Amino acid sequence: MLRAQTKARLAATGLRFGIAAAKYNPEFADALVANCLTELGGKATVVRVPGTFEVTAAAAKLAKSGKFDCVIALGILLQGQTSHAEHIASAVAHGLTQISILTGVPTIFGIVTANSLQQARVRCLGKNYNRGREAARTAIEMARTWKSL
């Protein structure tokens, strides 16, 4: 179930963010990036890659660079008639977890997995449940938490 997001904005001041984002399904992917950047105050390094599967490699490169307090992975997977999207989502989730563990840099899973175009619109283009903004807020909180440890 989706929860409406609060309007409170966490301060990203003094934090450095890297965003690894897919280009595939540009209507949705571009909206995720735009909303994430807006929430971060427009300050992040963005690397665009062909698809969601490639996001993991780009996120790893960003995390290993030592330049970022947190890395955000953004993309959209639309469920089709086969299990392809499920396999990609699983691989990306495991890969992003490994990046966080092995580099010590929090890596945020901002990959939308939708069963329909309607679900994708709500999660990527919607005002109340936008996953790009949600990923940015999570990134700010994780970066602050890591700095306090």
- As a whole number of angstroms, the distance between CA 85 and CA 87 comes to 5
Rounded to 5°, the CA angle 37-8-115 comes to 60
In the chain, beta strands by DSSP E: 17-22, 45-49, 70-78, 107-114
Catalytic residue among 2, 65, 67, 84: 84
> What does residue 125 show for φ and ψ, rounded to 5 degrees?
-110, -15
> Cα separation of 102 and 118, whole Å?
36
Tell me which residue of 125, 129, 140 sits closest to 34, measured CA to CA.
125
72 contacts: CB under 8 Å, gap ≥ 6: 17, 18, 19, 20, 36, 44, 107, 108, 110, 135, 136, 139
Based on the residue annotation, tell me whether 84 is a catalytic residue of this protein: yes
Q: Which residues participate in catalysis according to the annotation? A: 84
